[in-house]
Amino acid sequence: MYDFMVGDRVIIVSEEKLWKKNLFGEQGIIIYIALPQICIEFDNHVDGHNGSLGNEFKGGKQGHCFWVFYHNIDKINKQHRNIKETIEIRCKSLYM
C-alpha cells in the first residue's frame, strides 16, 4: 500500500491538479501522516499553507505545505539522480 514515514524526502509524481495546483516534480519532506493524506513541506514556496491541524499538529513553513494523497508521491532515493529519472522510474513501474 505505502511505506512512507515522517522525514522521508518525496517528489510529486502525479500530473493531476492537487487542490487546483500543478505540483508535478516538486520535492519536499513528509511532516505528518493522516492516511489517506500526507502533509508535505515542499522545498519551494508553492502558495500552499502550513499544514496545521490545530492543536494536534502545528504544521510547517507557511506557503510551503500541502496535504496530498499518498498515491501522488514517491520517495526520493539515492538512485534518483534527478527529477526526470525519478518520474521515468515511477512511470515504468506503473506500466510494467
Is 1 contained in some domain? no
Is 58 contained in some domain? yes
Is 81 contained in some domain? yes
Is 66 contained in some domain? yes
Is 19 contained in some domain? yes
Could you list the pLDDT tens digit for every one of the 96 residues in the chain? 578 999 999 999 887 776 677 888 899 999 999 888 899 999 999 988 888 877 677 788 999 999 999 888 989 876 555 665 666 666 666 665
Is 53 contained in some domain? yes
Is 2 contained in some domain? no
Is 4 contained in some domain? no
Structural domain range at position 21: 9-95
Quote the number of domains for the chain: 1
Surface-to-core class of residue 85, CB atoms within 10 Å of its CB (0-12 exposed, 13-18 middle, 19+ buried): exposed
31 close to 10: Cβ distance less than 8 angstroms: no
Would you state the torsion angle of the CA atoms of residues 72, 21, 33, 44, taken in this order, to the nearest 10 degrees? Answer: 100
Domain containing residue 50: CATH number: 2.30.30
CA 13/CA 34 separation, integer angstroms? 20
